[in-house]
Amino acid sequence: MTHIFLRVLWGAALFVSLILSLLGVFQTPLLDRFDFLFLTTLLFLAALYRPGWIFLLLLAILPFETISLSPLQSSFAIRPFQLAAIALMLALFLRFLVRRFSFPFSRVESSDALPVLFSIGVFGSAFASEPHDMFVRQSFIVLFFVALFFLSRQFLKRPEDARRIFPFLLLSILVTSAVAILQSILFSRGFFSFEAMPGRPNAFFPEPDWLGMYLIVGISALLSALQFREMRSRKGERRRKTD
């Protein structure tokens, strides 16, 4: 039954990724205030019901950096993965308050002090820099990714958890790569390629370098998972032969 649910969730993540891709390609305005509140409430309720599902969806929509789900005519921009992460954090916090947490919190390690100290250093340097407003906003972005790191630790505790996220990470890489290839084809044919820098595909990242870093990290993680799986299968074959 778990495999069936994961396949259905993977299909839903693929559908959401394709919709976001089309909206990003055609640069279509997304939500008004009512739509934004409705989507946020829907994500929050889904995160209350199945936090792990929303975390997997978050991984699938992680590359959509240039798409904003904030209400029209608002002064802030919120990415799809940021909205999913905020809804997930609020849901986990509420579950913690009512003592309905379905899995134990990760243990605090000494290495956890490093991202905390990094966040403190970022905010300290922001207030010592000019202009303050811009650097403080960037500091909040860094703080969000630190929170995302601690959020990931709640769901990635065992090798089985890493194998579970494999299809969703692969989905995000495939969609991002397909959009980057489409940009290259459009540019080579002389059409509008919606690139940040002409001739350098960036998919839905602000800059081409971000796309390159994401693909390097993602493909490296996938290759590592495949290597780990191959090593486990070889060990299993050796055990069967010895038995």
Query: Number of helices and strands (H, E) in the chain?
Result: 8, 0
pLDDT of residue 179: 83
Output the CA–CA distances (angstroms, integers) from residue 142 to 91, 148, 217, in the order listed.
22, 10, 18
Contact 132, 126 (CB under 8 A): yes
Output the CA–CA distances (angstroms, integers) from residue 138 to 59, 128, 142, 183, 187, in the order listed.
22, 14, 6, 28, 32
In the chain, domain spans: 2-106+157-242, 107-156
pLDDT of residue 225: 72
Per-residue b or e along 18-44, where b marks 16 or more CB atoms closer than 10 Å to that residue's CB: eebbebbeeeeebbeeeebeebbeebb
pLDDT of residue 1: 44
3-class DSSP state for residue 200?
strand
Contact 179, 39 (CB under 8 A): no
Q: State the Cα–Cα distance between residues 8 and 42, nearest whole angstrom.
A: 18
3-class DSSP state for residue 90?
helix
pLDDT of residue 52: 84
pLDDT of residue 5: 58
Q: In order along the chain (243 residues), what is the average pLDDT of each group of 10 residues?
A: 61 69 59 80 88 85 81 75 88 81 67 76 71 69 78 77 78 84 85 78 83 83 75 71 64
pLDDT of residue 227: 77
How many CA atoms lie within 13 Å of 56's alpha carbon, on the beta-carbon side?
25
Q: State the Cα–Cα distance between residues 194 and 67, nearest whole angstrom.
A: 13
